[in-house]
């Protein structure tokens, strides 16, 4: 009953005079009725208008056609390029930042991965790098992580991607390092001040909602293509989780403990350093883990703006449809993801209070803290020796060309793919055609062939019915932006693909999620698989999808499924699991069958989780559908990609990025408001 | 007074206690109203509204309403009420963990309510310490470092604070556990750590916010005995919050009963049981075994004419239960004295009436 009075206040309705309750009841029931009615009316009207007006006023724009807006963006780029040399902002802010980041990356590259003008090999050779990374893993996490890291780094070399792998690590480390400097202070500040939190939270929301594809072009415009832009993009993408998790960790320090500490007269600084930070340490390291995984994912995509690293070979082989090479470089990224994830997870477990408790009370011995300290120091000496040797001996500096695992593996995968495609082409082709003709084509025709004003009104009506007035306002604003970009038709095509993929994601998530939520065994088996899928950078999903289905819209849908299903499934499973066991027990005591339990108790009670899963699924799918532009996905993603490669299409690509953003925000707002409404009801 | 807490400061205070009549804690007209513009309610006719009316009219919640009391040096003062009565808010107002809306709190003559930030911190560091229901220990620190925390924040050198913390760990009977982490201890032991932490700073006033509610009944009894023992050993002034009447009667020199943020009654355990201020308190104390609480003072009656006045002599502050055997064993009525003043007599029937009445209740 600590601070009872404060907590009791929000539960006031019982104390409120009954008159208001009675008055508001009929209004609520009316509100519930008109929404499905509106939705039905909108759909019927839409179908009628589509049938009558199909193909008119669709605002279609040919491949090379450009609107004034696109040309204007082109000219903006040109003036940016011109301003680079004679604007104060560029000269004193952007340029030093760009040079600093580029210089830092170049310095680390000359140290670890790339030959410099003075040396044909980097300063530290492969042996030094391997031992150094293994030692870092040992010092931060433990013996198992050390072995994993050593093995993975060697495999990068044997795959034939030594230099690109180390480049990726350099970019990831620089980005994570900067995030670690920026993120925790920001998170702490947000945790201490509700106002700061209220201001920064929406910014983080936006950073997380934006499909990463959308802000590549504007950043390249400011920072030029290359490492600097790659690092800034990566930070934008990977900073929000760290900030949020830090804030959460600091906020979640037990209020009783804080009260106790305050009652003893600690200063704010003492409370922060002696209580809040130590208690939130584990959580903050989890934030570093999330941040690292996001950074790796983005660092590979940044290959599109010439970021160095493993993204380059993946991108090249995707564009030349070379599945074998794409697979090998993709595999290197996956290995790197696993290595970073396991190491940072082990580090966070080590920093947990339980682990510290166990260490603090174990009395030394072989595994005790002292033995470990000796091991870390010995490791440092070994690493120093390895670095020295690899600096001086060519054989230890240049990664050996043999044994070459990458070449044969690539060939084998190509052969296997050819065989699979040849053998199962009947099935894969049938699957592709069925879904394309039954779902994708009709929906795309419905969305993209309707006159634009019909579509605009339909979307507004749906937003109003599902999400309420505020969602409708957001939808209207986003529609205006999309119209302004001149890419309405392309946006509707992308929307159609996104909706199909999301539908499939939600169906899969509900089926698997309900199963997981009801069966501990299923959960124990499936959850690690989903976790593994989530650690893989999004880029890599395109490879197997491309291998099986060739360059089509459907490939993007399959990749989007693989990307979106894990998160959505976990949300549904947690929602089902979160249904009060008492309620389940009560329902069971009344003789409910298994199916009734699912359909009448568990799913209805976790519908907010299902809608949230749809929301997350949508955003993940959208970002993947857009990336699918690389492998024939068409729509906005294709425009973004061609904007990078062809100078005169830059403006159109940038406009496509803006349209993607608007589309993402519109979908996010509608589903968020719908989730909030359902959560309340 | 035992050795561990005897430092010059304490003995000086002990001396002052003897010759001054300054109360350890003095609370006057203390208010806490939660809600927007809460401070504007005090002084208007609205302040007399009941809690419910006030909430429906202004949306504000009066958690503590115009509370005044004094706690003498070395006294154990218990605040009792059901959940929602405002007792936890009250104890937090005393150290301004919650800011009071109006009123003053003085600890040893120092005004807590007027203190600036630094002064308040100094007061918290040196003059009062609190024990919490959910313990509020630091899970990442060993027991000894938890106990030393209060000394650490006020900047005592490491060797000194660890020595002091060790003394406190020994005092609360946790010797041998100083290297453990809180998670490794049972609830009762964790609360002993909380107790040691509060004692370590050698405060004038110890505040307890339902410290034993989270413990199971047997451990709770144990801890109550522990508090009694510590009070005898260190003689601190204590303000003890509880919702458990038995606990209040066991520990309290005086009891303050709260309801809806207001004081219903202040008195010694016997006063409260013998003369409940209203039906609310009467209802509360109806289950109390009266013979365990009442003293002879509440049973004594004038001698009848011709009644023998040669029986044994007993003091008025004797608890009935303790006196019963002697009274029943004596063939003559027992004479009851308050020091040297003759109050009257008590015979077998008077004692049995107290015992039997509670059976019937």
Please give the Cα distance from A301 to A74 (Å, whole number).
Answer: 23
Instruction: Inspect the interface and report whether the beta carbons of B124 and A265 lie closer than 8 Å.
Output: yes
Q: Is the pLDDT of residue A544 over 90?
A: no
Instruction: Inspect the interface and report whether the beta carbons of A361 and B63 lie closer than 8 Å.
Output: no
B83 at the A interface (CB within 8 A)? yes
CB atoms within 10 A of CB B57: 11
Give how far A468 is from chain B: nearest CA, Å: 29
Does residue A294 belong to any structural domain of this protein?
Answer: no
Q: Region A440-447: what's the mean pLDDT?
A: 83
Q: Region A576-602: what's the mean pLDDT?
A: 78
DSSP state of A404: -
Question: What are the residue ranges of helices labelled H in A393-451?
Answer: 394-397, 406-435, 441-449
What residue in A sits closest to B64 (Cα-Cα)? A5
Give how far B11 is from chain A: nearest CA, Å: 23
A11 at the B interface (CB within 8 A)? no
What residue in B sits closest to A6 (Cα-Cα)? B34
Q: Which ipTM score applies to this complex?
A: 0.73
Give how far A140 is from chain B: nearest CA, Å: 19
Contacts of A16 in chain B (CB under 8 A): 56
What band does A368 get if pLDDT is binned at 50, 70 and 90? low
Does residue A350 belong to any structural domain of this protein?
Answer: no
According to CATH, where is 3.10.580.10 located in chain B? 290-360
Instruction: Inspect the interface and report whether the beta carbons of A261 and B121 lie closer than 8 Å.
Output: no
- Residues B81-137: tens digit of each pLDDT: 888 888 889 999 998 888 898 899 998 888 888 888 888 888 888 888 888 888 888
Please give the Cα distance from A147 to A498 (Å, whole number).
Answer: 41
**How many distinct structural domains can be found in chain A?**
1
Model pLDDT, residue A14: 37
According to CATH, where is 3.40.50.300 located in chain B? 3-19+73-97+115-127+203-285
Does residue A151 belong to any structural domain of this protein?
Answer: no
Mean of all residue pLDDT scores within chain B: 83
For chain B, positions 92-131, list CB contacts with chain A under 8 A. 92, 95, 97-98, 120-126, 128-130
Does residue A321 belong to any structural domain of this protein?
Answer: no
A12 at the B interface (CB within 8 A)? yes
Instruction: Inspect the interface and report whether the beta carbons of B55 and A17 lie closer than 8 Å.
Output: no
Q: Is the pLDDT of residue B306 over 90?
A: no
- Residues A591-607: tens digit of each pLDDT: 777 778 887 788 888 88
Question: What are the residue ranges of helices labelled H in A54-125?
Answer: 68-86, 88-89, 95-112
Q: Is the pLDDT of residue A19 over 60?
A: no
Model pLDDT, residue A679: 65
Please give the Cα distance from A496 to A449 (Å, whole number).
Answer: 11
- CATH ID of B3-19+73-97+115-127+203-285, from 3.10.520.10, 3.20.20.70, 2.60.40.790, 3.40.50.300: 3.40.50.300
**Cβ(B39)–Cβ(B102) under 8 Å?**
yes
Higher pLDDT, A348 or B1: A348
Angstrom distances, CA of residue A253 to CA of A7, A124, A281, A654: 18, 43, 11, 44
What band does A640 get if pLDDT is binned at 50, 70 and 90? confident
CATH number where A488 lies: 1.10.3720.10
Instruction: Inspect the interface and report whether the beta carbons of A360 and B61 lie closer than 8 Å.
Output: no
Higher pLDDT, B246 or A34: B246
Please give the Cα distance from B51 to A616 (Å, whole number).
Answer: 45
Model pLDDT, residue A179: 93
Instruction: Inspect the interface and report whether the beta carbons of A360 and B181 lie closer than 8 Å.
Output: yes
CB pairs under 8 A between A and B: 129
DSSP state of B4: G
Does residue A225 belong to any structural domain of this protein?
Answer: no
Instruction: Inspect the interface and report whether the beta carbons of A2 and B134 lie closer than 8 Å.
Output: yes
Of A310, A329, A341, the residue nearest A169 (C-alpha): A310
A56 at the B interface (CB within 8 A)? no
Does residue A122 belong to any structural domain of this protein?
Answer: no
- CATH ID of B290-360, from 2.60.40.1120, 3.40.50.300, 1.10.3720.10, 3.10.580.10: 3.10.580.10
Instruction: Inspect the interface and report whether the beta carbons of B97 and A256 lie closer than 8 Å.
Output: no
CB nearest B34 (choices: A6, A257, A361)? A6
Does residue A651 belong to any structural domain of this protein?
Answer: yes
Give how far A244 is from chain B: nearest CA, Å: 23
Does residue A465 belong to any structural domain of this protein?
Answer: yes
Range of the domain at A554: 422-681
Model pLDDT, residue A356: 64
For chain A, positions 353-392, list CB contacts with chain B under 8 A. 353-354, 356-357, 360-361
Instruction: Inspect the interface and report whether the beta carbons of B153 and A270 lie closer than 8 Å.
Output: yes
What band does B324 get if pLDDT is binned at 50, 70 and 90? confident
Phi then psi for residue B237, to 5 deg, are -75, 135
CB atoms within 10 A of CB A408: 12
């Amino acid at each position: 009953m600590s601070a009872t009075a404060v907590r009791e206040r929000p539960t006031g309705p019982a104390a409120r005079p009954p008159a208001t309750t009675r008055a508001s009841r009929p209004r609520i029931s009316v509100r519930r009725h008109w929404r499905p009615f509106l939705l039905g009316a909108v759909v019927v009207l839409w179908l009628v208008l589509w049938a009558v007006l199909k193909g008119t006023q669709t605002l279609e724009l040919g491949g090379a056609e450009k609107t004034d807006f696109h040309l204007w963006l082109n000219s903006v780029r040109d003036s940016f390029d011109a301003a680079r040399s004679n604007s104060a902002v560029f000269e004193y802010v952007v340029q030093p930042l760009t040079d600093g980041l580029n210089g830092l990356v170049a310095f680390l590259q000359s140290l670890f991965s790339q030959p410099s003008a003075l040396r044909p090999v980097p300063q530290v050779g492969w042996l030094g790098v391997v031992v150094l990374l293994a030692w870092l893993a040992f010092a931060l996490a433990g013996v198992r992580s050390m072995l994993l890291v050593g093995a993975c780094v060697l495999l990068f070399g044997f795959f034939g991607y030594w230099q690109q792998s180390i480049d990726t690590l350099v970019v990831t480390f620089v980005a994570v390092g900067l995030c670690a400097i920026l993120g925790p202070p920001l998170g702490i500040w947000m945790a201490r001040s509700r106002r700061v939190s209220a201001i920064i939270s929406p910014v983080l929301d936006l950073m997380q909602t934006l499909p990463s594809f959308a802000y590549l072009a504007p950043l390249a415009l400011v920072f030029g293509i290359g490492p600097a832009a790659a690092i800034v993009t990566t930070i934008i993408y990977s900073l929000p989780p760290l900030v949020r998790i830090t804030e959460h960790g600091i906020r979640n320090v037990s209020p009783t403990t804080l009260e106790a500490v305050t009652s003893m007269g600690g200063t704010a600084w003492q409370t922060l350093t002696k209580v809040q930070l130590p208690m939130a340490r584990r959580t903050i390291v989890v934030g570093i883990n999330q941040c690292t995984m996001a950074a790796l994912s983005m660092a590979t995509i940044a290959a599109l703006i010439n970021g160095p690293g493993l993204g380059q070979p993946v991108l090249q082989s995707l564009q030349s449809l070379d599945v074998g090479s794409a697979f090998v470089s993709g595999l290197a990224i996956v290995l790197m993801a696993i290595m970073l994830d396991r190491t940072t997870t082990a580090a966070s477990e080590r920093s947990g209070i339980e682990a510290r408790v166990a260490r603090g009370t174990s009395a030394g011995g072989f595994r005790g803290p002292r033995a470990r300290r000796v091991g870390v120091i010995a490791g440092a000496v070994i690493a120093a020796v390895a670095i020295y040797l690899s600096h001086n001996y060519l054989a230890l500096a240049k990664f050996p060309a043999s044994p070459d695992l990458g070449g044969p593996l690539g060939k084998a995968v190509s052969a296997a793919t050819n065989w699979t495609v040849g053998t199962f082409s009947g099935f894969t082709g049938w699957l592709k055609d069925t879904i394309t003709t039954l779902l994708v084509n009709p929906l795309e025709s419905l969305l993209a062939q309707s006159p634009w004003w019909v579509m605009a009104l339909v979307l507004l009506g749906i937003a109003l019915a599902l999400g309420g007035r505020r969602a409708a306002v957001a939808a209207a604003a986003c529609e205006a932006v999309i119209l302004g970009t001149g890419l309405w038709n392309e946006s509707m095509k992308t929307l159609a693909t996104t909706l199909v993929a999301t539908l499939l994601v939600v169906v899969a998530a509900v089926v698997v999620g309900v199963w997981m939520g009801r069966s501990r065994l299923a959960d124990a088996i499936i959850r690690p698989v989903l976790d593994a899928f989530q650690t893989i950078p999004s880029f890599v999903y395109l490879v197997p999808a491309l291998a099986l289905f060739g360059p089509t819209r459907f490939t993007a849908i399959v990749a989007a499924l693989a990307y979106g299903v894990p998160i959505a499934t976990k949300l549904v499973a947690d929602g089902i699991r979160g249904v009060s066991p008492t309620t389940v027990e009560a329902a069971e005591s009344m003789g409910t069958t298994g199916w009734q339990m699912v359909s009448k108790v568990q799913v209805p009670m976790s519908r907010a989780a299902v809608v949230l899963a749809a929301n997350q699924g949508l955003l993940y799918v959208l970002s993947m559908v857009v990336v699918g532009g690389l492998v024939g996905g068409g729509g906005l993603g294709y425009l973004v990609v061609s904007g990078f490669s062809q100078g005169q299409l830059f403006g159109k690509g940038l406009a496509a990025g803006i349209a993607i953003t608007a589309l993402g925000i519109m979908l996010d707002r509608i589903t968020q408001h719908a989730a909030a409404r359902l959560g309340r009801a | 007074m035992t050795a561990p807490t005897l430092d010059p400061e304490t003995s000086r205070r002990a001396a002052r206690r003897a010759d001054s009549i300054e109360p350890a804690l003095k609370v006057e007209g203390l208010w806490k109203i939660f809600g927007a513009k809460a401070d504007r309610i005090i002084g208007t006719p609205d302040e007399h509204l009941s809690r419910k009316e006030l909430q429906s009219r202004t949306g504000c919640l009066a958690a503590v309403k115009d509370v005044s009391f004094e706690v003498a040096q070395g006294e154990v003062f218990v605040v009792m009420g059901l959940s929602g009565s405002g007792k936890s808010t009250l104890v937090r107002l005393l150290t301004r963990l919650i800011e009071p809306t109006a009123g003053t709190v003085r600890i040893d003559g120092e005004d807590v309510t007027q203190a600036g930030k630094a002064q308040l911190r100094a007061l918290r560091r040196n003059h009062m310490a609190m024990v919490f229901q959910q313990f509020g220990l630091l899970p990442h620190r060993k027991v000894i470092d938890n106990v030393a925390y209060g000394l650490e924040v006020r900047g005592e050198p490491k060797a000194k604070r660890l020595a002091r913390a060790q003394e406190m760990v020994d005092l609360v009977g946790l010797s041998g556990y100083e290297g453990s982490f809180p998670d490794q201890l049972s609830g009762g032991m964790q609360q002993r750590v909380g107790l040691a932490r509060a004692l370590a700073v050698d405060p004038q006033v110890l505040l307890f916010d339902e410290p034993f509610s989270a413990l199971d009944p047997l451990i709770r009894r144990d801890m109550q005995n522990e508090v009694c023992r510590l009070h005898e050993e260190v003689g601190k002034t204590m303000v003890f919050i509880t919702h458990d009447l038995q606990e209040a009667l066991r520990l309290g020199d005086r009891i303050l009963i709260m309801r809806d943020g207001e004081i219903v009654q202040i008195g010694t355990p016997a006063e409260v049981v013998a003369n409940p201020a209203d039906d609310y308190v009467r209802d509360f104390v109806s289950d109390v075994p009266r013979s365990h609480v009442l003293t002879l003072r509440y049973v004594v009656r004038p001698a009848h004419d011709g009644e023998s006045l040669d029986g044994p002599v007993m003091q008025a502050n004797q608890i009935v239960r303790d006196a019963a055997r002697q009274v029943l064993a004596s063939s003559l009525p027992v004479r009851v004295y308050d020091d040297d003043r003759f109050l009257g007599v008590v015979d077998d029937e008077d004692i049995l009436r107290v015992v039997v009445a509670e059976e019937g209740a």
